[in-house]
Structure 1
Amino acid sequence: MSNEPKCVYIKTDVGYVQITYAEFCRIRNTTENYKASHWFIPVQGVLLEVPKDAYKAFYREKERERYLRKLDSALFLCNLDLKSEEIPLRDENTDIEQQTEDRLMIEKMYSCLHLLDPDDAECRCRLEMRRQRHSAHGNFYGRANHRFCLSASSNRTHQLR
């Protein structure tokens, strides 16, 4: 709780007994395993001792409400005119440094393509930039082995690095 409660109601054999919050803190700190055996929920500015199942149900509902508020705020930012498959969702795990490094390497690869033979340049373009699968690439050239163009150009590629 963010604010100190007005009072605390502790369950006894005869019913509930009202004590001050300072007394409650003293009892909680001096009695061993007090937190593990007594459960309290905030109700209208006071702490009320409840059974464990009521405590779990109360905080399960609180957690669900918190989750739904978070979900509502996230969905509020989405444009509702878009279809569900078009909704742009942010990837919070994106690594900007890695993306920048990848873009710089791609630009460097584009600038070095003129150093390769035209066939090797086309081969690299198909595999790396157009992201064709090796089997489709081999089928395009009519060969089963998809690594036929890589062997000739691999030495040049290592020289470019």
Structure 2
Amino acid sequence: MKYAPRKVYIKENGSYTELSYKEFCNRREKNGDYAEKFFIPVQGCLIETEQTHYVEFYHDKERWRYLKKLDADNSLLSLEAFERDDDNSINFIADEAVNVAETVVHRMMLDKLRSALTMLSEDEQKLVNAIFFQELSEREWSSISGIPQKTINDRKRRILAKLKKILEK
């Protein structure tokens, strides 16, 4: 084994018992039964398992190694290529489902809206923040602010009309 695992979990009396690697080695030397047990590494630990799980684990591991070698032999692009800074990796892959023009227009409108929001009074900004960003209902904001719900509704309509005029300029 290339490394010493942090812990070893063995089955005793139908449940797992946690051992240090040193304790495990001592038990393995004293007890010949440990030679017939199967262990798989999981997150830096060894866990005792049944033979079928052991075989499946190493079969999958070997298959993964084989596929990785095939990818390397055929120069297939892997996700690791995006993390390297060499000239062989692709800088980006365009998503044809995304309309770049729409995205740009949307971002420009958001920037314009942000600047328009700064033109509102402090009370108007609080109302917009509560209803549109905190997603509070008019009734909830009414109970928090002490302003009647009907007044909040009227103010909201006026603020939206004001923002619409600013954005149309």
Normalised TM-score (structure 2): 0.42
Normalised TM-score (structure 1): 0.44
